[in-house]
Amino acid sequence: MPDHKDRDAESRTHGTIVVVPTPYDAIVIGIGGMGSATVYELARRGRRVLGLERYDIPHDLGSSHGVSRIIRLAYWEHPAYVPLLRRAFEQWRALELRCGERLLIVTGSIDAGRHDSRTFAGALHSCAVHSLPHEVLDAAALRGRFPAYQLPPDMAAVYQADGGFVLSERAIVNYVNAAHDLGAEIHAREPVLAWEAGGNGVAVRTAAGTYRAARLILTAGSWTADLVPALRRLAQPERQVMLWVQPRRPELFRPAQFPVFNMEAPEGHYYGFPIFGIPGFKVGRYHHRREAVHPDAMDRSCHAEDEAVLREGIRKYFPEGDGPTLSMKTCLFTNSPDEHFIIDRHPALPQVIVAAGFSGHGFKFCSVVGEILAELALERQSRWDLTLFRLSRFDAGG
Ligand SMILES: Cc1cc2nc3c(=O)[nH]c(=O)nc-3n(C[C@H](O)[C@H](O)[C@H](O)COP(=O)(O)OP(=O)(O)OC[C@H]3O[C@@H](n4cnc5c(N)ncnc54)[C@H](O)[C@@H]3O)c2cc1C
């Protein structure tokens, strides 16, 4: 679309990007989980939006692949997420209605650990603060109800019936299709090389040209620090691995018999899903082997050491699941120092908005984060309380 690119203007200024009349209302960099929801929300508001993605849509090199992501209301991380979660559920349902495809599968959720663990106590706290219906199950009651779970007697679980999982790649596909229907322009295989803000707008450079817009939204996941070097310490990529195994008793690991789980065990914090989408019971461990990486240099092969840390949890807590390996995939967390999200305006550039540092628990929120980012871009503020996500919270620590 040559009229949206101004190669001449760029060359006239000898490499200095000048802001000329703005053909787009907003440019979104990175069309993964957050970016796909954001282009849709902007297009839904009648805005001219350009989305730029460096790989295919969807792809398996970022943070949003691997079929499924847990969604749960009993949020052990902080009760402040619960109002956003309620909205996220509504928004996922709205997308399902719009696209005619099932994207959110309700299985119930388990948040388990010792009584004083952050996962168990935090989930219970969020239930109390927000009056969420829930049950506390001791290890025997949990096994009686969901026999695949074989937790030791010193662990207990918060069961919350609304939890489940979102189909992550399908969500991205449907957001992009819906955004297209509303007139959004989205380019894949077009990495952003540089961006610059000036006056009231931004200019974004790719190998194909320079695009201009009134607003820029950065949803670049694990590559955020490449685009905003000041965020290097605040959005740190980390290698993760997901494992799918053939259960010995598959009937215990079907969605109707197996709620999604978070489990804080002495060996680590595991999470898992029933069989769905591709064969096998899916398991991961938060912060896997604690490998800080750059996404372009990350080891994307899966090794025996990767399998071993996940097998340890399966063998001990889900022995009926401990069958042959079916699939393994690497993935990326992007961790903030306190593991809460970063959703804020750039401190020096009000026309630029950053959403990053989703710290391994962001996908479930894409449907509400897209809405928040559209509000921040177009209305300058969001109706949601974003205090927990402000960049300024890191100022004091230096
Ligand atoms: C193994 C694993 C399990 C997880 N489990 C859960 C879970 O159960 N529940 C949950 O809620 N969350 C979970 N998460 C976290 C969640 O998946 C992430 O928080 C979420 O996917 C982040 O979305 P994103 O849009 O920030 O990143 P991405 O989806 O990776 O999108 C960023 C996009 O930006 C693009 N990009 C980067 N740089 C450029 C550039 N220069 N030009 C153009 N495009 C660019 C990338 O190619 C990418 O497509 C998990 C994450 C992992 C890795």
**pLDDT tens for each residue of 58-75:** 999 999 999 999 999 999
As given in the structure block, the two tokens for residue 250 are 């598959």
pLDDT at 80 over 50: yes
Which 8-state DSSP code applies to residue 39?
Answer: H
Q: How far apart are alpha carbons 15 and 6 in whole angstroms?
A: 12
Residue 207: its pLDDT value, please? Answer: 97
Q: Report how far ligand 1's centroid is from the alpha carbon of 63 (Å).
A: 3
**In the predicted model, what is the mean pLDDT of residues 192-205?**
95
Q: Report how far ligand 1's centroid is from the alpha carbon of 114 (Å).
A: 30
Instruction: Give the position, in ligand 1's atom list, of the atom nearest the Cα of 64.
Output: 21
For ligand 1, atom 23, name the residue with the nearest CA.
33
Residue 21: its pLDDT value, please? Answer: 53
Residue 200: its pLDDT value, please? Answer: 84
pLDDT at 20 over 60: no
The helix/strand/coil state of 210 is strand
pLDDT at 7 over 80: no
For ligand 1, atom 31, name the residue with the nearest CA.
32
Alpha helices in 146-290 (DSSP H): 168-181, 224-227
Name the burial class of residue 398, with classes exposed (0-12), middle (13-18) and buried (19+) by CB atoms within 10 angstroms of its CB. exposed
Residue 297: its pLDDT value, please? Answer: 98
As given in the structure block, the two tokens for residue 120 are 């168990």
Instruction: Identify the band that residue 12 occupies on the pLDDT scale cut at 50, 70 and 90.
Output: very low
Alpha helices in 100-229 (DSSP H): 118-129, 139-145, 168-181, 224-227
Instruction: Give the position, in ligand 1's atom list, of the atom nearest the Cα of 240.
Output: 1
Q: Report how far ligand 1's centroid is from the alpha carbon of 33 (Å).
A: 6
pLDDT at 17 over 70: no
For ligand 1, atom 5, name the residue with the nearest CA.
69
Phi, psi of 216 (to 5 degrees): -125, 135
Instruction: Identify the band that residue 380 occupies on the pLDDT scale cut at 50, 70 and 90.
Output: confident
For ligand 1, atom 26, name the residue with the nearest CA.
221
DSSP 280-302: SEEEEETTTT-EE--TTT---S-
Q: How far apart are alpha carbons 27 and 36 in whole angstroms?
A: 12
pLDDT at 130 over 80: yes
The overall average pLDDT reported for the chain is 94
The helix/strand/coil state of 76 is coil
As given in the structure block, the two tokens for residue 81 are 């997420």
Instruction: Give the position, in ligand 1's atom list, of the atom nearest the Cα of 361.
Output: 12
Instruction: Give the position, in ligand 1's atom list, of the atom nearest the Cα of 62.
Output: 30
Residue 199: its pLDDT value, please? Answer: 83
Residue 381: its pLDDT value, please? Answer: 85
DSSP 165-178: EEEHHHHHHHHHHH
> Which amino acid, one-letter code, is at 87?
R
Residue 22: its pLDDT value, please? Answer: 59
The helix/strand/coil state of 144 is helix
| pLDDT over 70, % of the chain | 94
Q: Report how far ligand 1's centroid is from the alpha carbon of 331 (Å).
A: 9
Q: Report how far ligand 1's centroid is from the alpha carbon of 62 (Å).
A: 5
Find all residues with CB under 8 Å of 288, minimum gap 6, and list them. 238, 239, 240, 241, 306, 309
> Mutate which of 36, 69, 269 to test ligand 1's pocket (most atoms within 8 Å of Cβ)?
69
Residues facing 325 on adjacent strands: 245
**pLDDT tens for each residue of 154-180:** 999 999 999 999 999 999 999 999 999
| Cβ pair 367, 88 in contact under 8 A | yes
Residue 244 is inside which H or E element, if any? strand 236-245
| pLDDT over 90, % of the chain | 92
As given in the structure block, the two tokens for residue 205 are 């450079």
pTM of the model: 0.95
pLDDT at 308 over 50: yes
Any residues with Cβ below 6 Å from ligand 1, and which? Answer: 29-35, 52-55, 62-64, 69-70, 191-192, 219-221, 223, 227, 240, 242, 271, 284, 331-333, 358, 360-364
Question: CA 30 → CA 34, 284, 287, distances in Å?
Answer: 8, 25, 23
Q: How far apart are alpha carbons 305 and 316 in whole angstroms?
A: 17
Q: Report how far ligand 1's centroid is from the alpha carbon of 192 (Å).
A: 17
pLDDT at 26 over 90: yes
Instruction: Identify the band that residue 3 occupies on the pLDDT scale cut at 50, 70 and 90.
Output: very low
Q: Report how far ligand 1's centroid is from the alpha carbon of 19 (Å).
A: 30
**In the predicted model, what is the mean pLDDT of residues 127-148?**
98
Q: In which region does residue 380 sit, left (phi positive, over 0), alpha (psi from -120 to 50) or beta (all else)?
A: left
Of the listed ranges 126-135, 215-224, 323-332, 378-387, the least confidently predicted one is: 378-387
For ligand 1, atom 27, name the residue with the nearest CA.
221
Give 279 or 15, the one with higher predicted confidence. Answer: 279
Q: How far apart are alpha carbons 32 and 58 in whole angstroms?
A: 7
The arrangement of strands across the sheet holding 104-106 comes to 68-71, 164-167, 104-106
As given in the structure block, the two tokens for residue 166 are 């979102």
Q: Report how far ligand 1's centroid is from the alpha carbon of 345 (Å).
A: 20
Name the burial class of residue 239, with classes exposed (0-12), middle (13-18) and buried (19+) by CB atoms within 10 angstroms of its CB. buried
